[in-house]
Chain A
């Protein structure tokens, strides 16, 4: 009797989550897949016809936005690694007893709504804002220098909004490094730079890997930063999908684009995992 209970207990524990995923993930996915293969309009309704040409049309119409989104996402991710690593490193190795405080500070902006924060960046980056007008008054930048509406502003917004998602996983990886392993490297004639290159960075790689996953995917499909900080020249694929759904009511195209984006990101992530050798990375992480 007991043994039977022990056998089904794990499945019972998984059940609520599985039901949740089924209702809110699997069902919508199937619905969207079906929607992407339907034809019609909002007035007369949509009918399933298996019209796969929606995909080819969507790709040829919006390839610019798809590629742009991937490029913005990639640049933002690279900038994030460069910015987040020193922050995580400092907290992990020099944070002392105040580590929780510093981590809290990294997360603090998240207590304010995502959209609100992005809008306040708009105030900061505008031509008459507190950043550009003093610089222009001092003659450091010309009259025609703008940030708002440029790719720089969009990427800056992405970097700002996803910073904690890069800091936290790298921090966790660094925090788990045995300080004696670092000392062992010093003891074996490695100077601080070599110690970082040969020991600390390789051991932090699982964190970087997780951070890239947690930032590249949402940054590439983001639609708020470009909307608030960008212009028509910086339109990202997320914005297109949103507009097709909510403004044009072209559900098949919106659904098809969502699937294309998902597929592209999945292919990207798997290639990335393959190149980096996830298995090795995960093995170290599993220690």
Chain B
């Protein structure tokens, strides 16, 4: 029944197998004042069908260049860019089946909402009534019905944002590229649009590639995140993986707040390494089999995983890490209190303490405290 021909057709149409976007050994250099400046260094990347994928990093990390190579506005110096398994390196932007939502929207100022949204379909020579139908449909999805005749300058930032989104989505691209699309909106509107973007993505089922420097935005919206720094993807993983197990010092610092300590391994026992600072101050961290006594380790601990005790810690906590220190700063945040503690390990620690029922338990500046946390909350980075 299933001839070879059939199976070939099936495997090609089984879109789940072929990544929507693939980078194979992509390099991108810029020439600046006669000098070659690397923007993206040797990158391999596969973005799945229907995935919400974020490129996260500080400005100048190469995330925008990466996106522009997908769109076709930049060509890689070396390597290949694949869309749906097809090599599109060197193919002009207007011949690539991806669309972009630009930072500050880049709407056509001389065209109204309808004309802006219909622009791509007209270029593709879609029939007039079909254009009308699809524009109406997409304007409904982005809640802009009735705004067809408005010019961009007659609309608010949030509405322009929706037009930009509709203008790209109406073409049903293989992937939608979003370049810091919410950057120009105020906080309230941004949070609202985050939820809306997620809803729209679920509704249309298109791969979203989202460029942002806002870690909160990336964490809440993405299926997977690539954290970029200096032209390199430092870590690629789910929001949870990236937050809980940062692969590098940069990721630990860039995503949320991290406490970083280093020290030499005193002994390894049952997959746990022990680093001692004094007889009672120690950090316990899960390690792989390659770590030996005497190795120098860097350990990251998230502030909300740490318990703060005003007296000698209870015995239940003694299996994990213990650091003593002095409170140097107390900031009350309503739902939590943030402490800065100068510890025996030599590093200043940040601790987020939930303001639960025992509100009178607050420590004061200058108090002697003990910080404890379970072994699994220590995370070894930079291996």
Interface residues in A141-184 by Cβ distance below 8 A to B read 178, 180-181, 183-184
Task: List B284-304 residues whose CB lies under 8 Å from chain A.
Answer: none
Find chain A residues with CB under 8 A from B98 CB. 187
Contacts of A183 in B (CB 8 A): 73, 93, 100, 102, 106
CB contact under 8 A between A188 and B110, given known A180-B104, A183-B93, A183-B102: no
Interface flag for A287 (CB, 8 Å): yes
CB contacts (< 8 Å) of B151 on chain A: these are 283
B123 near A: Cβ within 8 Å?
Answer: yes
Residues of A within 8 A of B100 (CB): 183-184, 187
Beta-carbon contact of A187 and B94 below 8 Å: yes
A189: Cβ under 8 A from any B Cβ: yes
Is B102 within 8 A of A186, CB to CB? Answer: no
* A180-B184 Cα distance, complex, nearest whole Å: 15
B130 to chain A, nearest CB (A): 15
Distance (Å) between the CB of A215 and the closest chain B CB? 24
Considering the complex, give the chain B residue whose CB is closest to the CB of A187.
Answer: B100
Distance A190 CA – B103 CA, assembled complex (angstroms): 20
- Most chain B CB inside 10 Å of its own CB: which residue of A181, A194, A283, A284: A181
A186-B92, A194-B123 are known contacts. Are A287 and B153 too (CB-CB below 8 A)?
yes
Contact of A190 (CB < 8 Å), options: B94, B102, B104, B153: B94
Q: How far is the CA of A183 from the CA of B64 in the complex (A)?
A: 14
Residue A199 is within 8 A (CB to CB) of chain B in the complex: yes
What residues of B have a CB within 8 angstroms of the CB of A283 in the complex? 151
Which residues of B lie under 8 Å from residue A186 when comparing CB positions? Answer: 72-73, 92-94
Q: What's the minimum C-beta distance from A18 to chain B, rounded to whole angstroms?
A: 32
Question: Among B71, B108, B124, B153, which residue has the most Cβ atoms of chain A within 10 A?
Answer: B108
From residue A281, how far is it (CB to closest CB) to chain B in Å?
9
Residue contact B120 to A189, C-beta cutoff 8 Å:
yes
In this assembly, does A203 line the interface, its C-beta being within 8 Å of a C-beta of chain B? yes
Known: A203-B110, A284-B109, A287-B153. A184 touches B94 (CB 8 A): no
Q: Which of A183, A188, A191, A283 has the most CB of B within 10 A?
A: A188
How long is the Cα–Cα vector from A212 to B240 in the complex, in angstroms? 62
B160 CB–A CB distance under 8 Å: no
CB distance from B119 to the nearest CB of A (A): 5
Q: Which residues of A sit under 8 angstroms from B92, Cβ to Cβ?
A: 186, 191
Q: Point out which of B71, B72, B110, B123 has the most chain A C-beta atoms below 10 A from its C-beta.
A: B110
- B235 interface residue per 8 A CB criterion: no
Contact of B99 with A by CB under 8 A: yes
- How many whole Å from A246's CB to the nearest CB in chain B? 48
Assembled-state Cα–Cα distance A283/B72 (Å): 32
Interface string of B138-154 (1 = CB under 8 A from A): 00000000000001010
Task: Please tell me if A134 contacts chain B, counting CB pairs below 8 Å.
Answer: no
Q: Is residue A185 contacting chain B, with contact meaning CB distance below 8 A?
A: yes
Closest Cβ–Cβ distance, residue B224 to chain A (whole Å): 24
Tell me which residues across on chain B come within 8 A of A185, comparing CB atoms: 108, 119
- Contact in complex: A187, B123 (CB < 8 Å): no
Q: Are B104 and A187 in contact (CB under 8 A)?
A: no
A86 contacts the other chain (CB 8 A): no
Q: Give B120 Cβ to nearest chain A Cβ, in Å.
A: 4
Q: Is residue B372 contacting chain A, with contact meaning CB distance below 8 A?
A: no
How near does chain A come to B34, taking the closest CB pair, in angstroms?
14
Total A-B pairs in contact (CB under 8 Å)? 67
A180 touching B123, Cβ below 8 Å: no
Closest to B152 in A: A287
- Which chain B positions have C-beta within 8 A of A202? 110
Chain B residues near A178: list those with CB within 8 A.
Answer: 104, 106
Q: How far is the CA of A283 from the CA of B153 in the complex (A)?
A: 10
- The answer on a CB contact under 8 Å between B123 and A181 is no
Residues of A within 8 A of B167 (CB): 184, 188
Q: Which residue among A189, A191, A284 has the maximum number of chain B CB atoms within 10 Å of its CB? A: A189
Is B54 located at the chain interface by the 8 A CB criterion? no
Distance A53 CA – B107 CA, assembled complex (angstroms): 57
Docked CA distance A186–B95 (Å): 9
Q: Which residues of A contact B168 (CB under 8 A)?
A: 187-188
A9 to B98, CA, bound (A): 55
Q: Does B49 contact A (CB under 8 A)?
A: no
| Cβ–Cβ contact A180 & B106, under 8 A | yes
Q: Once the chains bind, are A191 and B106 in contact (CB under 8 Å)?
A: no
Which residue of B has the minimal Cβ distance to A178? B106
| B378 at the binding interface (Cβ < 8 Å) | no
> Are B110 and A189 interface neighbours, CB within 8 A?
no
Expressed in whole angstroms, the minimum distance between the Cβ of B345 and any Cβ of chain A is 49
Contacts of B120 in A (CB 8 A): 188-189
Q: Mark B326-365, 1 if CB is under 8 A from A, else 0.
A: 0000000000000000000000000000000000000000
Alpha-carbon distance between A284 and B110 when the two chains are bound, in angstroms = 6
| Shortest beta-carbon distance from A67 to chain B in Å | 35
Complex Cα gap A138–B276 (Å): 97
Chain A residues positioned under 8 Å from B102 (CB to CB): 180, 183-184
**A184 to B167 CA separation, bound complex (whole angstroms):** 10
Find residues 116-173 in chain B having any chain A CB closer than 8 Å to their own CB: 119-120, 123-124, 151, 153, 167-168, 171
- Additional 15 contacts, C-beta under 8 A, given A178-B104, A187-B71: A178-B106, A181-B106, A181-B107, A181-B108, A186-B72, A186-B73, A188-B167, A189-B94, A189-B124, A190-B94, A190-B123, A191-B92, A191-B94, A198-B119, A203-B110
Closest 6 CB pairs of A and B: A188-B120, A180-B106, A189-B123, A184-B106, A186-B93, A181-B106
Chain B interface residues (CB < 8 Å from chain A): 71-73, 92-95, 98-100, 102-104, 106-110, 119-120, 123-124, 151, 153, 167-168, 171
